[in-house]
Amino acid sequence: AFIRASSDPDGDPPALDDAAFRKWLNKTADGKTPERRSELEKQGRATVGKVLAEYVALWKAWAIAELPRRKTIALYGDLFTLRHQLAAEETARPHELIWGIGISSRKLTFERAEFDFEYPLLTQAAEIALDEMTMSLEIRPRSTETRVELDAFVACSVPGATEVERAAREYLVRNKEHPVTPFDPASFTDVLKLAASNLDSFGTYRETTEENEPVPPAGEHLVVTDSWVLLSRPRSNN
């Protein structure tokens, strides 16, 4: 009764509910001497502290196992909802699911206003399939060509953006027998390095070394990473 615990594995660990403890102490020590009250408080806090230490260890062990489970449940829910949205909005507000590779960041300027750019340079249209026997979801690429996403650089008049876009498209056409996939760095490393070095003379290509490593914040110079992301976006008419 004196322990406050969260059901969120990403929340704060269990702690003493001081209000509940003091309510108990006031009731228990009612009519007793200050010395006896102090003794009861000391004994009570020691007892609760011992139980709390044991429970915190159990809670942390539960949280470590529960956190990835909760993330998986949330991801499944998002993808399941998105699957229905992609089908329902086919004519009204068409969206598409893409698998973006080569998430890049840089500060760009458009109409004299600076903004932070963070977007994948290569995208592959994807689809979500449902196994009605097991209810498992499968994300797989659609049979469309990989797109080069340099519209922002072209719109912001970054020198060489048009040429880099053309060179990247030609590279992908020449290597159709080796399609782009996030699970094979050899399928995209060369084209990402091409973009990094030609869109910015101080641009860099960076390989992620840790799982879930964040993309570098947008700065003065372009940073192209080998990270990938799944996202939905409005589908263009062309």
Predicted confidence band of residue 92 (pLDDT cuts 50, 70, 90): low
pLDDT reading at 236 higher than 90: no
Per-residue pLDDT at 238: 64
Instruction: Write out pLDDT tens, residues 65-79.
Output: 999 999 999 999 999
**Banded pLDDT at 153 (limits 50, 70, 90):** very high
* pLDDT digit string, tens, across residues 32-82: 999 999 999 999 999 999 999 999 999 999 999 999 999 999 999 999 999
In sequence order, what are the residues at sequence separation of 6 or more whose Cβ sits closer than 8 angstroms to the Cβ of residue 105? 116, 117, 118, 215, 216, 217, 218, 219, 222, 223
Q: In terms of pTM, does the model score above 0.85?
A: no
